[in-house]
């Protein structure tokens, strides 16, 4: 008799657990983000299995940071309205969570960091429609390539200064912060400038008023400037595109570099 009572009690407990679990599943089921798709510059994107990159960031409706999630798995949220953003390089883009309304990604002073970020996507429970997030590269590359065949032994360090008109990107409304800023990098040369090549990652310009300008300082090993040259004109930077400039670095008796060819996305530009 005791065994029968124990069996009945055990079955009852089991049914209670099953019922409770089913109730919890029903309770949270409408709030699970089940169906979402990410794109990177117009192509489908997802984290490779085994990589822990958490590409999705969630904010409350007032912009308060809520959480960070992987695009590999479903996840549940409390009932409410949210704002989502996504990036394929979360560590670089969101090093410290802040209120979305205050979130500005600065121009890297060394011009060595691309900016990949989606627009803000509003999403509210019960999450019935697919969540689509398109990540776009907001920067382009300025590539400088010397075509000299004669070395100049008067310098051993090349410092290139690129002046930009945009110094930040505001995530909440996909706008750029305007402001004059210089990004610079120095490179040693043992060949007097022959084969000089360097890439500078800066925000897209979108219009001529935001084009970048370039100045080069030629220095000795102890960083004494022996001469300075500037490029004639200014240059556009397109998102996720290379603006390549082939030029003569060591032309004598000129402080203005005029002999150059600009190629953007494989197309030679006319001056």
CA-based end-to-end distance of the chain: 99
Average of per-residue pLDDT across 6-27: 41
Residue-wise pLDDT for 130-163, tens only, equals 999 999 999 999 999 999 999 999 999 999 999 9
Whole-number Cα distances in Å, 225 to 152, 198, 219, 229, 247:
14, 20, 4, 11, 21
Name the residue among 159, 223, 222, 230 with its Cα closest to residue 193.
Answer: 159
**What is the spatial distance between Cα 169 and Cα 112, in angstroms, rounded to a whole number?**
15
Q: For residue 185, is pLDDT > 50?
A: yes
Cα(231)–Cα(258) distance, integer angstroms: 6
User: Which alpha helices (DSSP H) does 63-181 contain, by range?
Assistant: 90-93
Tell me the CATH number of domain 139-268, given options 2.120.10, 1.10.10, 2.60.40, 3.10.450.
Answer: 2.60.40
Each domain of the chain, given as residue ranges in start order, spans 29-137, 139-268
Quick one: what percent of the chain has pLDDT higher than 70? 87
Q: What pTM was computed for the model?
A: 0.85
């Amino acid at each position: 008799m005791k065994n029968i009572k124990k069996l009945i009690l055990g079955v009852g407990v089991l049914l209670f657990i099953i019922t409770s679990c089913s109730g919890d599943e029903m309770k949270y089921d409408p709030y699970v983000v089940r169906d979402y798709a990410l794109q990177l510059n117009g192509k489908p994107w997802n984290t490779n299995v085994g990589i822990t990159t958490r590409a999705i960031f969630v904010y409350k409706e007032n912009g308060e940071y809520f959480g960070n999630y992987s695009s590999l798995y479903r996840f549940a949220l409390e009932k409410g309205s949210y704002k989502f953003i996504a990036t394929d390089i979360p560590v670089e883009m969101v090093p410290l969570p802040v209120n979305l309304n205050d979130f500005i990604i600065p121009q890297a002073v060394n011009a060595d960091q691309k900016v990949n970020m989606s627009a803000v996507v509003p999403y509210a429970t019960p999450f019935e429609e697919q969540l689509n997030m398109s990540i776009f590269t907001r920067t382009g590359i300025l590539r400088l390539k010397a075509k000299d065949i004669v070395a100049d032994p008067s310098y051993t360090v090349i410092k290139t200064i690129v002046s930009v008109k945009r110094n930040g990107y505001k995530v909440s409304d996909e706008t750029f912060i305007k402001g004059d800023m210089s990004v610079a990098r120095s490179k040693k040369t043992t060949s007097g400038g022959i084969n000089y090549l360097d890439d500078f990652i800066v925000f897209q310009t979108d219009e001529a008023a935001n084009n970048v300008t370039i100045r080069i300082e030629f220095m000795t090993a102890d960083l004494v400037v022996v001469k300075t040259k500037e490029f004639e004109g200014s240059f556009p930077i397109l998102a996720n595109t290379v603006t390549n400039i082939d030029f003569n670095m060591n032309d004598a008796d000129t402080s203005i570099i005029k002999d150059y060819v600009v190629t953007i996305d494989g197309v030679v530009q006319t001056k």
